Amino acid sequence: MSTGAGTPPASSAPSILGFRDAAAEQATESRFLAVPESKLAEEHLRILTKAPHMAGTIEDKATADYVAQKFRAAGLDTEIVEYKVWMNYPAEISVDLVAPAGVEMHGPTREHVDHDPYQDDPRVVVPFSGMSPSGDVEADVVYANYGSPEDFEKLEKLKVDVRGKIVLVRYGENFRGVKVFVAQEHGAAGVIIYSDPADSGWRRGDKYPEGPWRPDTGVERGSVGYMFEFPGDPTTPGVSSLPSLPDSQRIPPQQSAQLPKIPVTPLSYHDAWPVLLHLGGPDSPREWQGALPFTYHVGPGPAKLKMHLRQDYQFRTLWDVIGRVPGSDLPDEWVVAGNHRDAWVYGAVDPNSGTAAMLEAVHGIGDLLKAGWKPKRTVIFASWDGEEEGLIGSTEWVEQHEAGLANAAAYFNMDVAVSGSKFGASAVPSLKQFLRDITKVIPSPKGGTVYEAWQKAAQVDATQAPGEVIGENHRLPAVQVKGDVPVGDLGSGSDYTAFLQHMGVPSTDVSSSGSYYGVYHSVFDNFAWFKKFGDPEFVYVQQMARVFGMEAVRMADADVLPYDYDEYGKEVVAYLDAAGKRAEDKFGNHVLDFAAVNAAARRFEAAGTRILVKQKSPPQDPARLNQALRGAERALLAPQGLPHRPWFRHVIYAPGEYTGYAAVVIPGVNEALDRGDSERARQQLAALAAALERAAKTLEGYR
């Protein structure tokens, strides 16, 4: 019996896109929606977070066994898939302030607050950076704000040379691996990343345990691998499509483009405080000033640090849990829904709020199976491992199953399911309306539907500053072409990456967010924090279980795939309009010719509009129509991939080379404009036009 979030409302919609018999589908969905329970979700989270469970540990394997048990109990055909991957644990990590004389700092200081029941477990790993090399560096410190390319340009204008220095940067604004990549490009000898109270501490609100924000000793762990080059195991570059199996061909780690060349480690603002306090040199640009109570300077020196990092790199075992429900009519068309399970420490919010929600979605699927439901398409639920180190478990599985994924209908992702009460989503444009429609039939703990709560929040956001972000996963504003609630664009930073950007599988990502960044990737992201500040009654976990499971049920049952290429085409046209204006600003008029790509985009848009009409009256035999719909997204893959990043093949969406997580739209073109490279821009405009022509032709192929 459902608890905590009300009775699912009856749908008032006379039809559901892609269904001939909407009433039958509504009956199935109503049965599913009644099953997920808040109390069971709470029990899942308590069990999953009772011990730290970093990827590859015995505690991580215990969580895999628990998830597999629940999958099997629901009736899923379940297996645990093992991969051997190259990754590090910390052996010795120390950072010492060695100058000026008489000032001491020996980091990292143990994370500690009063009255937290989880912080003293001896299995809590010392804060470290995944994928950092070992190294010993002693050098003067330079402060570089967030470590963006623009920040390093400002240092150059200030005549501050970072070569051979230890660069101190703060978390926020961009992916931590990008900070390291840019510092490495500029000749730094090492990098320290700290959390400033302006971004996630007392400037934002009360510190944990009184409030949700970062306490003085809290440290954000995280991978600094160059996932914008390629994700997955660093020794099996995805361009070769070789999953990390025992007999896989591998490259030497030192040759991997994914691994940084300079040592990196994180610190708390408690430990960064004396370093920043004793920097000389020019005052930092005023927008670089954080919340510590003194004027920030950029250095170099007189503060000098000694970094000693000894990383324990080995080939370690990861465990993906895969549960299947075979399709009755279209078993070769997969609907995949996934959440990662591994955590830097306890991971109550990131990611196990999502695991708990997924298990309750699977609980609902199990109830449908017992009642005789048989999905048309094969449904696969996946509990990924090694996401935190570099999207490893999902990437290796995708590379292993490229042939099976060639006909996949969708991938649905849920990482941080719940850190608060504000629903949000990102998706490829073809699935944005699908997501909106799903939320119209799911009850919100706030009353009404999730869609109605989403609308109200969007209206507030339109008049106020942007809401919270989770970690560094900043999303660009969505292009609004239908005047509805905003659905963001997919960049990277979670497990949809391999499905969308390598394989062209239409994907979504959903979450319910709040004031969480203060404990992100720290020991304090634990059950106690979640119960106090995240979702005390687990009603939002229940909500997300319903959203996530409904995505899978509806996509699996659809007669015609419920994609919206009309919205997709309009968004691409808007992206090109913006890029055209950027090109004029960068190079002047008539240097780049957008005529061919604009024509291709409008052909794609027109084809999307026409086929949407046909989708609204599903034919008795929809096989050819579905083939065209599936093929259009795949047609947007460039066989040669993006410049210098061949693993990323999608011409419309990719993580940015210098953002890491945030989506860059039409990336080949926009990144060429960023670099001021007109010849590369011409080549990428041609590649984009060719992809859009392929996609349009694919949609036009159904008459």
pLDDT digits (tens, 9 = 90+) for 251-272: 999 999 999 999 999 999 999 9
* Token digits of residue 662: 């945030």
DSSP category for residue 172: B
CA dist 201 to 270, 289, 341, 454, Å? 11, 14, 27, 27
pLDDT band at 481 (very low <50, low <70, confident <90, very high): low
Q: Which pLDDT score, from 0 to 100, does residue 703 have?
A: 76
Among 266-280, 476-490, 549-563, the range scoring the smallest mean pLDDT is 476-490
CA dist 103 to 106, 168, 273, 514, Å? 10, 18, 11, 38
Q: What digits encode the pLDDT tens for the residues 536-553?
A: 999 999 999 999 999 999
Q: Which pLDDT score, from 0 to 100, does residue 445 have?
A: 96
Residue 415 lies inside a defined structural domain of this protein: no
Q: Which pLDDT score, from 0 to 100, does residue 621 have?
A: 93
Longest Cα separation, the chain: 82
How many angstroms separate the CA atoms of 367 and 373, rounded? Answer: 9
How many angstroms separate the CA atoms of 639 and 504, rounded? Answer: 11
Residue 326 lies inside a defined structural domain of this protein: no
Mean pLDDT of 437-444: 97
Q: Which pLDDT score, from 0 to 100, does residue 623 have?
A: 95
Mean pLDDT of 634-651: 96
Torsion, Cα of 105, 266, 314, 416 (10° steps): 140
How many angstroms separate the CA atoms of 46 and 352, rounded? Answer: 10
* Token digits of residue 178: 């990008």
458 SS3 class: helix
How many angstroms separate the CA atoms of 383 and 403, rounded? Answer: 21
Residue 32 lies inside a defined structural domain of this protein: no
Kindly report the average pLDDT of the chain as a whole number: 93
Q: What digits encode the pLDDT tens for the residues 351-374?
A: 999 999 999 999 999 999 999 999
Is the previous residue joined to 100 through a cis bond, with omega within 30 degrees of 0?
yes
pLDDT band at 464 (very low <50, low <70, confident <90, very high): low
Among 110-119, 455-464, 524-533, the range scoring the smallest mean pLDDT is 455-464
Are 123 and 59 in contact by the 8 Å Cβ rule? The answer is yes
Mean pLDDT of 290-294: 98
Mean pLDDT of 75-92: 97
- The residue out of 313, 330, 360 marking a domain boundary is 313
pLDDT band at 661 (very low <50, low <70, confident <90, very high): confident
Task: Residue 142: give its domain's CATH number.
Answer: 3.50.30.30
- The residue out of 255, 284, 313 marking a domain boundary is 313
Whether residue 12 is predicted with pLDDT greater than 70 in this model: the reply is no
Residue 42 lies inside a defined structural domain of this protein: no
Name 673's Cβ contacts closer than 8 Å, sequence gap at least 6. Answer: 579, 582, 583, 586, 681
Pairing label, strands 106-107, 77-99: antiparallel
Name 672's Cβ contacts closer than 8 Å, sequence gap at least 6. Answer: 643, 678, 680, 681, 683, 684
DSSP category for residue 323: E
* 516 closest CA partner among 375, 369, 350: 350
Q: Which pLDDT score, from 0 to 100, does residue 471 have?
A: 36
Pairing label, strands 190-194, 264-267: parallel
Q: Which pLDDT score, from 0 to 100, does residue 469 have?
A: 34
Residue 446 lies inside a defined structural domain of this protein: no
How many angstroms separate the CA atoms of 440 and 451, rounded? Answer: 5
Exposed (0-12), middle (13-18) or buried (19+): which is 110, by Cβ within 10 Å? middle
Whether residue 7 is predicted with pLDDT greater than 70 in this model: the reply is no
Are 173 and 148 in contact by the 8 Å Cβ rule? The answer is yes
* 192 closest CA partner among 314, 85, 299: 299
How many angstroms separate the CA atoms of 288 and 13, rounded? Answer: 51
pLDDT band at 5 (very low <50, low <70, confident <90, very high): low
How many angstroms separate the CA atoms of 562 and 437, rounded? Answer: 10
Q: Which pLDDT score, from 0 to 100, does residue 492 have?
A: 85
Q: Tell the residue number behind the tokens 């990861």, with chain if given.
A: 318
Mean pLDDT of 221-228: 96
Q: What digits encode the pLDDT tens for the residues 32-60?
A: 999 999 999 999 999 999 999 999 999 99
pLDDT band at 689 (very low <50, low <70, confident <90, very high): very high
Mean pLDDT of 224-229: 95
Pairing label, strands 190-194, 166-170: parallel
Bigger pLDDT: 479 vs 602: 602
Number of structural domains in the chain? 2
105: phi then psi, degrees, rounded to nearest 5: -155, 120
Q: What digits encode the pLDDT tens for the residues 99-108?
A: 999 999 999 9
Q: Is the pTM of this model over 0.85?
A: yes
552 SS3 class: helix
The fraction of the chain above a pLDDT of 70, given in percent, is 94
How many angstroms separate the CA atoms of 522 and 221, rounded? Answer: 6
Mean pLDDT of 662-687: 94
Task: Residue 587: give its domain's CATH number.
Answer: 1.20.930.40
Q: Which pLDDT score, from 0 to 100, does residue 237 have?
A: 86
Cα 479 off chain centre by: 19
* Token digits of residue 279: 């920097």
* 364 closest CA partner among 4, 10, 1, 36: 36
Q: What digits encode the pLDDT tens for the residues 570-614?
A: 999 999 999 999 999 998 888 899 999 999 999 999 999 999 999
Residue 181 lies inside a defined structural domain of this protein: yes
Residue 247 lies inside a defined structural domain of this protein: yes
Half-sphere exposure of 475 toward its Cβ, with a 13 Å CA cutoff? 25
* 418 closest CA partner among 488, 514, 507, 521: 514
- The residue out of 296, 313, 330 marking a domain boundary is 313
pLDDT band at 134 (very low <50, low <70, confident <90, very high): very high
387 belongs to the catalytic site: yes
How many angstroms separate the CA atoms of 599 and 320, rounded? Answer: 44
480 SS3 class: coil
Type of residue at 595? A
How many angstroms separate the CA atoms of 595 and 673, rounded? Answer: 17
Type of residue at 3? T
* 5 closest CA partner among 546, 548, 413: 546
Reported in sequence order, the residue ranges of 326-472 that DSSP labels E, i.e. its strands, are: 330-340, 377-384, 410-413, 422-427
CA dist 212 to 219, 272, 510, 530, Å? 14, 21, 22, 9
Residue 137 lies inside a defined structural domain of this protein: yes
Q: Which pLDDT score, from 0 to 100, does residue 683 have?
A: 97
Whether residue 496 is predicted with pLDDT greater than 70 in this model: the reply is yes
Torsion, Cα of 456, 458, 460, 464 (10° steps): 170
Element (H, E) at 445: none
642: phi then psi, degrees, rounded to nearest 5: -80, 155
How many angstroms separate the CA atoms of 629 and 627, rounded? Answer: 5
442 SS3 class: coil
Residue 280 belongs to domain spanning: 88-313
Are 524 and 429 in contact by the 8 Å Cβ rule? The answer is no
Residue of 387, 388, 396, 633 marked active site: 387
What b/e sequence results for 626-636 when a residue is b if at least 16 CB atoms lie within 10 Å of its CB, and e otherwise? bebbbbbbbbb
CA dist 320 to 341, 507, 584, 603, Å? 9, 19, 48, 41
